[in-house]
Amino acid sequence: MNVLLIYPQFPDTFWSFKHALKFVRKKAAHQPLGLLTVAALLPAEWEKRLVDINVTRLSDEDLAWADMAMISAMNVQRASAEDLIARCQEAGLRVVAGGPLFTAEHEQFSGVDHFVLNEAELTLPPFLEDLAQGCPQAVYSSSEFPDLQQTPAPLWELVDFDHYASMSIQFSRGCPYNCEFCNVTALFGHRPRTKTAGQIIAELDALYALGWRRGVFFVDDNFIGNKRQLKQEILPALIEWRRGKAGMPFNTEVSINLVDDKELMALMVEAGFETVFVGIETPDDDSLAECNKFQNRNRDLVESVKRIHRAGLQVQGGFIVGFDSDTPSIFERQIDFIQRSGIVTAMVGLLQAPHGTPLYERLKRENRLLEEMSGDNVDGSTNIVPKMSIETLRAGYKKILEHIYEPAHYYERIKTFLEEYRSPRFASHMDPQYILAFFRSVYQLGIRGVERFHYWKLVFWTLLRRPRSFPLAITLAIYGFHFRRVCELHVR
């Protein structure tokens, strides 16, 4: 059996980092971890070929070689997934689909022969068994959650490392919280299920042996969901593993209550974590209560962010406007919070209601749902009817993006962050592409760019005041170039 594992294209969004990746000659931020894990679950004797549309094209030769196509996608990849399904169908391939998009909305897709939904550790084996018997069903699903200690390591040999800026691995699935707009618990449950330290170290060893030295993203939706295991098992193992090694900085996603545990932050920094994405959402307490974001309430969120920065972890923040409790003042409040906190990478989006979330069910009862959501909450679209007028909401959203990514404000935020941030102590790996990225930034940002005054001001300020953070300052300047390009696309 020859199998194509196909990953659809991401549109040009904040999270694609498309324009920043050009500085380091990379085509995508991360490899498709889910498909590489599925590949490891397939029979060893099958021939497998990964086609990530974000870094290569699906050729006629690929289609002629294959007996079956397996497609995984998220909501934001819908349009590309539909095109790929149609093309595989035209080529006469058996099409199998899974992943978050299809798990939530498989009824919306024609042209797929078999849906393998939920988590593949449970639903792929019965499909393979039925396929071998010649009687595969149309839909395979499960309400159970698998033991991740039985999950195989990704099939790294399918990946061309040269295309990617970072690799991804996974420690846990599930989140103990119940934010109304989030579909993580609908997909993976409330109880965090984890791999062992041995599994994580084996995956990192494999990457290191293959020559990988750049960043590693732990894709967990809440890495600190099981703090006890992290502190007693995982982080000590990572600290030991890192001894004598250069490169491979880590980043992940956490909840804001990380700040309440100084020991955990210190261990994460010692283990090599540099960046954490935190769902801040909003500085408005009523809106936090509305969306069940209780872990963010009753705390000084600006000070919490700065304490994480001072611990040696850069906070990337997610923000949302469009809650029922929001008033027109929320736009200025979001701007003020982002600037004062020093969150450089601030991802602000309109509220959307994914299938399977409590928000979706509530708005469905209230007859406030619109067409399918794009999955890209920064493209100015929403699938809900907001309490605020949609014109006011979109105008306020545009105002936020234009302000926070205007060069003067963006570069001031870099400085605010660096004044608090404590650089890591572990040895870095100097990839030649990242050295060349500096010289490309000099030309693109320091000579040609509208931000050239702010760029050079940051360069000299960092060299004088925060020299150890100079590579990070340049990286953030390059990110700003990307964010402004995306704003030009979406904010008209």
Which residue segment(s) compose the domain that 223 sits in?
165-420
User: Residue 483 and residue 475: Cα distance in Å, rounded?
Assistant: 12
Coil, strand, or helix at residue 384?
strand
User: Residue 4 and residue 11: Cα distance in Å, rounded?
Assistant: 22
> Are both 343 and 290 inside the same structural domain?
yes
Q: Please name the helix (run of DSSP H) or strand (run of DSSP E) that holds residue 489, with its range, or none.
A: helix 470-490
Indicate the pLDDT class of residue 444, thresholds 50, 70 and 90.
very high
pLDDT surpassing 80 at residue 179: yes
Give buried/exposed letters for 371-384 (b at 16+ CB in 10 A, else e): eebbbbbbbbbbbb
> Are both 21 and 107 inside the same structural domain?
yes
> Are both 67 and 203 inside the same structural domain?
no
User: How many domains is the chain built from?
Assistant: 3
pLDDT surpassing 80 at residue 8: yes
Confidence (pLDDT) at 488: 85
> Are both 330 and 436 inside the same structural domain?
no
In a domain, 158, yes or no: no
In a domain, 152, yes or no: no
Indicate the pLDDT class of residue 13, thresholds 50, 70 and 90.
confident
pLDDT surpassing 60 at residue 67: yes
In a domain, 251, yes or no: yes
DSSP string spanning 313-327? -EEEEEEEE--TT--
Residue-wise pLDDT tens digits, 223-259: 999 999 999 999 999 999 999 888 899 999 999 999 9
Confidence (pLDDT) at 429: 61
> Are both 392 and 467 inside the same structural domain?
no
> What letter would DSSP give residue 105?
H
Q: What is the pTM of this model?
A: 0.95
> What letter would DSSP give residue 180?
T
> Are both 113 and 55 inside the same structural domain?
yes
Question: Which of 420, 442, 470 represents a domain boundary (last residue)?
Answer: 420
Indicate the pLDDT class of residue 146, thresholds 50, 70 and 90.
very high
User: Residue 31 and residue 38: Cα distance in Å, rounded?
Assistant: 13
Confidence (pLDDT) at 485: 92
Pairing of strands 94-98, 193-194: unpaired
Per-residue pLDDT, averaged over 453-473, amounts to: 96
Per-residue pLDDT, averaged over 388-405, amounts to: 95
pLDDT surpassing 80 at residue 324: yes
In a domain, 287, yes or no: yes
pLDDT surpassing 90 at residue 365: yes
CATH number for the domain that contains residue 45: 3.40.50.280
> How many whole angstroms from its chain centre is CA 456?
30
> Are both 450 and 484 inside the same structural domain?
yes
> Are both 363 and 484 inside the same structural domain?
no
In a domain, 408, yes or no: yes
Coil, strand, or helix at residue 227?
helix
> Are both 117 and 177 inside the same structural domain?
no
> Are both 224 and 285 inside the same structural domain?
yes
Confidence (pLDDT) at 177: 92
In a domain, 153, yes or no: no
In a domain, 160, yes or no: no
Residue-wise pLDDT tens digits, 16-46: 899 999 999 999 999 999 999 999 999 999 9
Residue-wise pLDDT tens digits, 415-432: 999 999 988 765 566 678
> Are both 89 and 214 inside the same structural domain?
no
- Would you say 6 and 84 are in contact if contact means Cβ atoms under 8 Å apart? yes
Cα four-point dihedral sign 30, 35, 37, 39: negative
CATH number for the domain that contains residue 284: 3.20.20.70
> What amino acid occupies position 417?
F
Per-residue pLDDT, averaged over 263-280, amounts to: 97
Confidence (pLDDT) at 74: 94
Confidence (pLDDT) at 426: 59
Averaged confidence pLDDT in the chain? 94
Question: Which of 399, 420, 441 represents a domain boundary (last residue)?
Answer: 420
Residue-wise pLDDT tens digits, 89-100: 999 999 999 999
In a domain, 258, yes or no: yes
Confidence (pLDDT) at 46: 98
* Inter-helix orientation angle 197-209/235-242, to 10°: 30
> Are both 114 and 261 inside the same structural domain?
no
